[in-house]
Amino acid sequence: MKTEAFVLTKNGKSSEAFSLQEIQLRSLNEEEIVIETEAFGLNYADVMARQGLYRETPPLPCVIGYEVVGRVVKTASPTNEHLLGKRVIAITHFGGYAKHAIAPVSTVYDIHDLNANTALALTTQGVTAYYMTHYIAPIKKNDQVLIHAAAGGVGTLLIQLAKLAGATVFAKVSSNEKAQKCTELGADYTINYKMVDYAVEIQKILGQKKIDVCYNPIGGSTFKLDKNLMTAGSRLFLFGGSQLSEGKKGVLSQLNFLRKMGVLIPAFMMMQSKTIIGVNMLKIATQRPDVLKHCLEEIIKLHKGGFIQPENGGEFQFDQLAQAHDLLQSGKSIGKISIHW
C-alpha cells in the first residue's frame, strides 16, 4: 500500500530535515492494522530524533512519530475486522508522520468523537504520566513531588495525576506564563529555574523535609541536584534527556551529558534507600503491550470522568510541521502539539 509521509532524510534544522514523499507501507502481520491518519502528535523525542540524538531512531531515511488518530482501513486478520471503520488512537512504533500508519492492535483504542489533540495527548504522554504516577510506583498521599518541564505535555498531566493522588506538587518551569498555568492546574509551588536555583528554592520551602518523588525528563546536571533533594524511600523517574539537545552535537557533547549526571553506585542507593527508575514507553509498548494497554484505558477513563484535562499546545496543519517542531524545541509551548492532515 502506498501513502505519503514526512520522511526524516537528514539530521538538523526542522525546515531541512523532513521531506514529504510517497512511501510504500510494509506488509502487515496478523496483530497489526492500518490507520488512515487524521492527525499525529509531537513528542520531545521527535526533536531529539531529528537532531540525531535519540538512539532508538531507525536508520535514515525513516518516518518517525509515536501516535496517531484516524480510522482503521485495513487489517491482516479476520479477528480484527470489527475495528474497520472505527475512529481510534494508536501508538505506533515509529511511522506516525504519515497519511497511513501501521499500529499494533494492542495499542488501539476506540475514541468515537473525542477531540484529536486531546486523544493524542492521552496517548504517549498520558500513558507515560499514568505509568509513572499510578502503575509502576504509585504516588502516596502527602508525598512531596517535583515535576520538571511541568508545563509540557507530560508535565501538565503529571500535575493533575499527582494532585489526584493527594500529593504536594513543586512545578519547575521556565517562565512566569508557565508558572501561572501550572498553578491553575493545581501545583502548590511553582519555581522558575531561570530566575532562581530550583534545588535551593525547594529546600528552603521544605526545610528539614525532602522530596519523595521526582519526575525528570531533562537529565544531565539536574540528575545530581535531584538526588540530593531525595529522602529515604524516594523515587526518581528519568524519562528523557532533553539537556543533551542543548549542547553541541557529537560524541563529546554526549560524554559531557553523562559526566554531568555523575557515577551511580547501586550499593550507595541501597544504603540510602533511594530508587532510580528509567522509563522508555517505546520499550514498554514493544515488550509489555498489556501494561501499555492498561495505562491507556485508565488515563482515558480519568479524562472521561472529568478528573484530568490535557492542555492543547497548538494544532498545526501538515505544511506547518517545521514551525511545530521549532515551537516544541524552543521550550515555549504549553501542553500537547499536534499535526493535522
Above pLDDT 70, what percent of the chain? 93
Query: pLDDT of 46-57, one tens digit each?
Result: 999 999 988 889
Distance, CA of 201 to chain centre: 26
Q: What global pTM score does this model have? A: 0.90
Q: How far apart are CA 135 and CA 325, in angstroms?
A: 30
Query: pLDDT of 244-279, one tens digit each?
Result: 656 555 555 555 555 566 666 677 777 778 899 999
Domains and CATH numbers, the chain: 2-113+311-340 (3.90.180.10), 124-282 (3.40.50.720)
Query: pLDDT of 65-80, one tens digit each?
Result: 999 999 999 999 999 9
Determine the pLDDT at residue 262.
63
Question: Is the distance from CB of 140 to CB of 164 less than 8 angstroms?
Answer: no
Q: Name the least confident of 173-177, 189-193, 222-226.
A: 222-226
Average pLDDT value over all residues in the chain: 92
Above pLDDT 90, what percent of the chain? 82
Q: Which residues contact 259 (CB under 8 A, 6 or more apart)?
A: none
Query: pLDDT of 273-323, one tens digit each?
Result: 889 999 998 889 889 989 999 999 999 999 999 999 999 999 999 999 999
Q: Rounded mean pLDDT of 206-229? A: 91
CA distances, 131 to each of 81, 126, 174, 311 (Å)? 30, 8, 25, 19
Q: How far apart are CA 236 and CA 296, in angstroms?
A: 22
Determine the pLDDT at residue 248.
55
Determine the pLDDT at residue 46.
95
Q: How far apart are CA 337 and CA 16, in angstroms?
A: 20
Give exposure, 2-20, as e/b (b: 16+ Cβ within 10 Å): ebbbbbbeeeeebeebbee
Q: Which of 206, 211, 172 is nearest to 192 (CA)?
A: 172
Query: pLDDT of 184-194, one tens digit each?
Result: 999 999 999 99
Query: pLDDT of 72-113, one tens digit each?
Result: 999 999 999 999 999 999 999 899 999 999 999 999 999 999
Q: Retrieve residue 190's grid coordinates.
A: 511553582
Determine the pLDDT at residue 149.
94
